[in-house]
Amino acid sequence: MSFFRKKVYACAGFYTVSLGTGRKEFHPKKPRPGIEHYIKEAGLGVIGQIKNPEHVDEGVIGNFIASRFCHQGNLGGFFPMVHPTFQYKPCMRVEGACDSGGLALVASVKTVLADLADVVVCLGVEVQNTVKAVYGADYLAAAGWYSGERKDGHAYFFPDQFSRRAGACFEKFGYDKIRPGMAQWYVNAIENARKNPKAQEYHNSNSDLHSTGMTAPSPKAFCEHINVFDCSKVSDGAAGLIFASEQGLEKIGVSKKDAVEVIAYAQVQDNLTTPPPDMTKLSTCETAARRAYERAGIQPRELGVLEVHDCFTVAGLLAVEAAGLAGYGEGADFVKEGNTALNGLIPTNTSGGLIGYGHPTGATGVRQAVDIVHQLSAKAGDYQVQVTPDRPYGMLSSMGGNDKTVVAMIFRKTN
């Protein structure tokens, strides 16, 4: 029995350049696009792929913390700016820290399933290069329990949280096992990003990525167990796609061969006021993936492509384990063996992921979905992987906070 009461499709995926340090056109002292620009660019990129945009019923915008970075709330008010026929149509902004985009996906799917809309434009957006890094780190600490953790936390709050996870993995499984796996994750991310013209690391020409990934941490300047290359970058950008019913696809003139089917999701919430039960596991991500597999009626080995939330390299290793692709403590070896590469057993984060493409926080979950849709519909360009009939599924895992708010969503190739 299907988890959904009717078929839901995703199509017309688009995302902007992830703008920030590393991009040749980025200059910290020159004016840059505002958040309304990115909403409009992503929205136009989506509706430019359909007929009859007047048949869009509503919008959803995922965003984490524009009120701090941009002094801007009420983001739904920018939706009518995308197209004249969107005037007076409903749009809401949803938030769940770095999983805000993932929650936007869920809200869009639920609306179609509830028969309240046939066509929903789902957008995610964040503009973060508006303040110095240390101030931005404080803003982003709101993804954790601010009143309970921030006062005694590291200046770079979330890098420290995942540095601690890395340290716990070093202690339990051995530095020589885990650290090279983290470095290889970095290598894969940059190599994939070099195939994606919109990636923040697209222009990276470093000839020895592995040595860079193995750079020793600098605890006095940053964190105890990770270096700056283990981190996703501060990014500005947006992503969007359409969720539609079968009738909705007909209304906007999109063939099923140009769409993919959404077959299941799980949205899982952990208690924000409690520490992780095990620093060497992403327990909430694991729960979400397991539920999504059960609802889809598939096994991890049936996935043809995977997107995980690699906000830090160690998170990438743990996320592959949480997704059921590698055993506990074996994520590093799984990556070092080439299994997550573009030509590997399970191509993962094919456009660069958060490390390579960038991490405009509210846009990330939507961007992940766009890349899954592009892969399953053979529209991924230079980073296209082979999706075989026996493995026609793609899954994303989008995480907010320190494994607190998670969405896992599974898609199926339609042709």
Look at residue 391 and tell me whether its pLDDT is greater than 70: yes
> Are the folds of 8-132+234-259 and 156-232+262-413 the same?
yes
CB 18 within 8 A of CB 234: no
Q: What is the pLDDT of residues 43-61, one digit of tens each?
A: 999 999 999 999 999 999 9
pTM exceeding 0.95: yes
For the beta carbon of residue 42, count every other beta carbon within 10 angstroms. Answer: 29
Tokens of 63: 């965003």
Would you place residue 382 in the very low, low, confident or very high pLDDT band (cuts 50, 70, 90)? very high
CB 101 within 8 A of CB 119: no
Q: What is the pLDDT of residues 116-155, one digit of tens each?
A: 999 999 999 999 999 998 899 999 999 999 999 998 889 9
Would you place residue 292 in the very low, low, confident or very high pLDDT band (cuts 50, 70, 90)? very high
Q: How many angstroms separate the CA atoms of 235 and 406, rounded?
A: 21
- The rounded mean pLDDT for the chain is 97
Per-residue confidence (pLDDT) for residue 2, from 0 to 100 = 83
Q: How many angstroms separate the CA atoms of 9 and 235, rounded?
A: 29
Q: Identify the CATH homologous superfamily for domain 8-132+234-259.
A: Thiolase/Chalcone synthase (3.40.47.10)
Q: How many angstroms separate the CA atoms of 64 and 101, rounded?
A: 8
Per-residue confidence (pLDDT) for residue 1, from 0 to 100 = 65
Q: How many angstroms separate the CA atoms of 386 and 364, rounded?
A: 24
CA atoms within 13 A on the CB side of 342: 21
Sequence-ordered strand ranges (E) for 142-244: 236-244
Q: What is the mean pLDDT of residues 228-232?
A: 97
Q: What is the mean pLDDT of residues 234-263?
A: 97
Domain ranges of the chain: 8-132+234-259, 156-232+262-413
Share of the chain above pLDDT 90, in %: 97
Q: How many angstroms separate the CA atoms of 407 and 398, rounded?
A: 5
Q: What is the mean pLDDT of residues 158-177?
A: 97
Q: What is the pLDDT of residues 68-105, one digit of tens each?
A: 999 999 999 999 999 999 999 999 999 999 999 999 99
> Which residues are CB-neighbours of 130 under 8 A, at least 6 positions away?
69, 70
CA atoms within 13 A on the CB side of 285: 31
Per-residue confidence (pLDDT) for residue 415, from 0 to 100 = 73
CATH number of the 156-232+262-413 domain: 3.40.47.10
Q: How many angstroms separate the CA atoms of 86 and 16, rounded?
A: 21
